[in-house]
Structure 1
Amino acid sequence: MNRDPGFRDFGVDVLVKLGGSLLADFDRARALGETLSELATTHRVLVFPGGGPIDNYIEMVDRVLRFPADVHHQLCARAQDQTGLMFSTLCPGSRVFSRPVEVPSVLAEGRVAIMLPMEQIIGLDVFERSWTTTSDSTAAWFARFFGARRFAILTDVPGIRRPGDADGACLESLTTAEAAAMGRTGIDECLPPFLEANGMSCTILDGRDHLSVENWFQGLPAPGTLVHPVGAPAPGKARSFSA
């Protein structure tokens, strides 16, 4: 992602959205945190947290209490802060931040910068109170804001499968139009059109497999699904791979 002339470069090489589901296995989450900390010595890494187990609890309570949209929005944003704080304890040497001005100094120290996004999500107020706008598309917005060179979503699946093929092979790549036509799969429905409109690509990776994450950072082959704008070159011929 190129920096626009006249605008500050925050110096983010990679923004990864951390799926909250990855905290279900503390040992694997710790291995991921240690991997990211090591990668931060050669890559400037920013982690954007999803809602995690606290968000799941909010959704369960909401089915009973039916929170007003604004309350639900604020609860979920606060859940993301909790995920970020919890992951910071598993990511050696990392530093949490809530204000963008803090990012360059954290990255300059070779540390993973873990965002606590609640303050910015609520304060900027650019996201609709919508069930279709999740932390996937929110992370993409901040990847664009920070000018991240690469963007990945770390989740608990090895990529995107074709609809109705839950046990089949994951796709290596697909266009934003193809992803949008699938509806909600491993990513939310707002993400493909946002990527297309902003000329961005995103790779969905299995965050439980820290070796694959490391390979992706290093530009080596790694299982995952690249979602790229229509007309943008994909790496080789699109194909499926076995999970």
Structure 2
Amino acid sequence: MKPLVVKLGGSTAGKAEMQHWIDALASSTFPLVIVPGGGPFADQVRLAQKRFGISDDAAHAMAILSMDQFGMMLAERHDRLRLARTVGEIGDVLVAERIPVWLPSTMTIDAADVERSWNVTSDSLSAWLAEKLGAKALLLIKQTDEYLHCASLSALADAAIVDPLLDKMLAPDIDLYIAGPQTLDALKLPLATIPGHPIMRCSIVEDMGAQ
């Protein structure tokens, strides 16, 4: 069974929702992989770039390292979570019936198919990993419920709820789900199904509007 890829947004850092989501994901009865956001660590990279004139290439690498930092923090929050840097390590953790927390720097800092800009966030990198793992679904956990007002992936990008390259990076055979605080409040544990709301791809919405 292919794992669900779950991006846990860095905006949950330092909030009660972070631990609640960790506990919920750790209770999962199906395999999943957690991708950490950058959160306050990425915010510091943005500030440093403005202050010191850091190039986009360097800021890109530093932002990915900020995801590593948040991932290390997450992995300490539950005994079932284990750090993993490669597809092989992710597989080993899953075989041990633990939950991998992916540290993306090893695989992505120099990846030729990852744009080196702020247009790429942990959203797009989660989609990138999902394709590498052959996953069938991607769940993005956000610190907002505004996604409920968006009918498609393109609308989510327009509202800056997801990054502008997610639609390009998300393989067409991977289903997308988004969850927020309302989802967390309604969760029943142990987690047996994908939480959140399924999101239409923009092409599907456009085809429906043309009929």
SS at match of 1:138: helix
Partner of 1:7: none
Residue from 38, 59, 67 that aligns with 2:46:
59
| Inter-partner Cα distance in structure 2 for 1:45 and 1:89 | 17
Partner of 2:198: 226
- Give the RMSD, CA atoms, in angstroms: 2.6
Residue from 185, 191, 198 that aligns with 2:166:
191
CA shift at 1:139, angstroms?
Answer: 0.9
CA shift at 1:158, angstroms?
Answer: 2.1
CA shift at 1:212, angstroms?
Answer: 4.1
Cα deviation, 1:173-225, whole Å, max 9, x if unaligned, reads: 62345445xx2421111112433x6233311211685354558x5348x6x44
| Inter-partner Cα distance in structure 2 for 1:208 and 1:87 | 22
Cα deviation, 1:3-33, whole Å, max 9, x if unaligned, reads: xxxxxxxx532100111111121x4322221
| Inter-partner Cα distance in structure 2 for 1:207 and 1:102 | 31
Residue from 5, 30, 53 that aligns with 1:15:
5
Partner of 1:28: 17
Partner of 1:5: none
Q: Quick check: 1:115 aligned with 2:102?
A: yes
Any gaps of 5 or more consecutive residues in structure 2?
A: 206-211
Q: Quick check: 1:203 aligned with 2:177?
A: yes
CA shift at 1:85, angstroms?
Answer: 0.4
| Inter-partner Cα distance in structure 1 for 2:42 and 2:161 | 17
Q: Which amino acid in 2 is paired with 1:192? A: D
Contact 1:32–1:210 (Cα < 8 Å) also in 2 = yes
CA shift at 1:57, angstroms?
Answer: 1.0
| TM-score, length-scaled by structure 1 | 0.74
Cα deviation, 1:121-167, whole Å, max 9, x if unaligned, reads: 1142321122222111111111111111221111101241xxxxxxx
Contact 2:57–2:117 (Cα < 8 Å) also in 1 = no
| Inter-partner Cα distance in structure 2 for 1:94 and 1:144 | 22
| Inter-partner Cα distance in structure 2 for 1:137 and 1:157 | 18
Give runs of aligned pairs for residues 85-164 of structure 1, distance below 5 A: 85-160=72-147
Cα deviation, 1:13-66, whole Å, max 9, x if unaligned, reads: 2100111111121x4322221211111xx2101001111111111111211212
User: Could you say which structure has the higher helix fraction?
Assistant: 2
**Alpha carbons of structure 1 residues 126 and 81: separation in structure 2 relative to 1, 3 Å:** same
Equivalent residue pairs, number: 204
| Inter-partner Cα distance in structure 2 for 1:48 and 1:207 | 18
Partner of 1:174: 151
| Inter-partner Cα distance in structure 1 for 2:43 and 2:153 | 28
| Inter-partner Cα distance in structure 2 for 1:44 and 1:63 | 40
Residue from 17, 22, 26 that aligns with 1:37:
26
Contact 1:174–1:225 (Cα < 8 Å) also in 2 = no
